[in-house]
Amino acid sequence: MGCTYYDDKPHEECGVFGVYSCEDIKAAQYIYYGLTALQHRGQESAGIVVCDMRGPIGNICAHKDMGLVNEVFHKEDLERLKGNIGIGHVRYSTTGGSIKENAQPVFINYAKGTIALAHNGNIINTDEIRQELVAEGASFEGTSDSEVIAYKIAAERMHSSSIEEAVEKVVKRLKGGFAILILSPQKLICVRDPWGLKPLCLGKSGSMYVCASESSALNAIGASYVRDVLPGEMVTITGNGEVTKTILRTETRAHCIFEYIYFARLDSKIDGISVYNARINGGRSLAVRFPAEADVVTGVPDSGLTAAIGFSKESGIPFLPAFAKNSYVGRTFIKPTQEERTSAVAIKLRVIEDVVRGKRVVLIDDSIVRGTTLANIIKEMRRFGALSIHVRISSPPFMYPCFYGTDVPDNSQLIASGHTKEDIRREIGADSLEYLTIEDLAGMTGDLPVCRACFDGRYPV
């Protein structure tokens, strides 16, 4: 198998999770399980910041490091993080390098107290704000836009009557996609970008309020889904659990379509739409528009499996899993050499010979970025006896980069940007190749307005 099975995919930047309770709870433990449920959104670093509202002002405790959630946090770490409110973060870097200094949440002490911030997304006017802060004497530890946002809020707080007012001033300047959690010693503030590019939802368990990137993370701690944070909305939880809601900005909505195609967990609902049903419907649309003469339908784990089931349901061709996956190999993208990464991936994903030998196969995947992944998979399937392989992709061709927190590379690395569909078919070695059409995206998300700039170049911001 090729070395790029895990590299040749778009990556979400981050996941955020926060809890607020006036009662004596161990916030860090809830956040730990919430972050574990969001691990798919970022595997490079993890962090938790908590505060005990009944303790002295500014008693924020933090722990963060490089690695997966269960690598960064151990029992003694969670026991040390004492507090009844807190925020957490898992990160995949798009802005700022993969270094410990860029791990989140960001927390800073300033003249009026302490704040911590966790952020999912990408701010496209960060450099402008950073330069302003540097001119005022600010010094940064890392290179992420999240640190810039935190410092700007602290700076605005010096001239504002409340932390909410400071947040409002800063958020109105931000351009891009973002879901932001801000922790002060007495408050949890949740903000979503005015286009709805990044997901954010609210939940509740007893007297505890929860805010998370996805509803599946609420389920992980037994919290009930309440609603999505509205695009452009700031939700503040304070006092005895008092919740205030403020619409800061409104723009034309443009929800990220790739949450439904690839990023989000199957058991999540985002803006009222089931991720599972969206992917099933994408597979159904492929079967209607681009049928194939085949004996079996299968999907590339894990992202292509649900769309493959949808294709099977619509076409009547049986679905069978054609790959055995070893979940204990570890993260192949951090292997130091290409040879080591190639070996690790070959161990992690293997073709099941009995499924493909002598069969005409429909192979479903969610996207083609550079094409090397799919080429290696198809080569292996032929080696194990597949007669023909008809590739169906449950998204339109990637033509343009994303600037809002999704790690889609520039045009030079997007195979569809400089090649025809026939070129790509030959490159990956498929017998046929078809993509979901832009028109069929509506079959996945109904009338929800979505951002599809990576497919058509029409950027909402």
Nearest-5° Cα angle at 262, 326 to 318: 65
Phi-psi label, residue 272: left if phi above 0, alpha if psi -120 to 50, beta otherwise: left
Q: Which residue has the tokens 């009338």?
A: 447
CA distances (Å), origin 389, targets 287, 309, 426: 15, 17, 12
d(CA 324, CA 347): 10
Q: Is 251 helix (H, G, I), strand (E, B) or coil?
A: coil
Active-site residue set:
14
Residues present in the chain in total: 461
Helices 421-428 & 372-383 angle (0-180, nearest 10): 50
Residue 274: which of 392, 100, 445 has the closest Cα? 445
Dist CA 213 CA 89 (whole Å): 10
Question: Exposed e or buried b for every residue in 48-66, given b needs 16+ CB within 10 A?
Answer: bbbbbbeeeeeebbbbbeb
Identity of the residue numbered 225: Y
